[in-house]
Amino acid sequence: MAGRWFLAATRTLQRFAGPGATGRDRGWTLAFSMAAQSSEGEAYGSTDPSGESGPLSAEEALEHKALRLQEEVRDLTERYQKALADSEHVRRRTQKFVEDAKIFGIQSFCKDLVEIADILEKATAGETEAGDQKTTLKKVFEGLSLLQAKLQNVFAKHGLQKMTPIGDKYDPYDHEIVCHIPADGVQPGTVTLVTQNGYKLHGRTIRPAQVGVAVETQE
């Protein structure tokens, strides 16, 4: 647009520098024309694009972005591998704890049973002579009584409770009927006989008691 303006101005000055123009006017016209051509050339030269600076800058930006993404991927990969290794370590330790719990879970219970074994060994130790049978039987009885008391203490310590349901109402979850007994003076369905005690572990029945239950007689 600037070049068109300079060209129009040059033509106008050339009209002024016609046959009737003075030498001074022609000199100014020539100088202005040369200046206009020079300015026009500079204008066209300045608008000429380099053709390389723009695409190079965009390419460099893409390269920088690609490098940044590669670094992020590498960092995330390293974090993932580390987290995977940590989780595998935790899994192995947990598995080891579970295996140890299965093997040594009854360690305390076994330790208490060893004490009972010691009592039983002492109660049955020694040779029985003919004249000391009464004394020996007394010692055996005392040892067995002590053994029973110790055993019940061990059971209670580990949450094992003996069930003696005489007089209780029959419960199919806790009792196993082995016989029926006529209900003489008791309500039908009442446990009147226990042939084998039952046991509960922390409130859960692990062995039901074998019982005889009272039933109504038919006349």
pLDDT tens for each residue of 147-166: 888 888 888 888 888 888 99
Cα–Cα distance for residue pair 105/111, rounded to 1 Å: 11
Q: Which tokens go with 76?
A: 């995330």
Say what the pTM is: 0.49
- Across 38-47, 62-71, 138-147, 165-174, least confident range: 38-47
Share of residues in the chain with pLDDT > 70 (%): 69
Q: Which of 170, 174, 169 is nearest to 204 (CA)?
A: 174
Residue 144: the pLDDT is 82
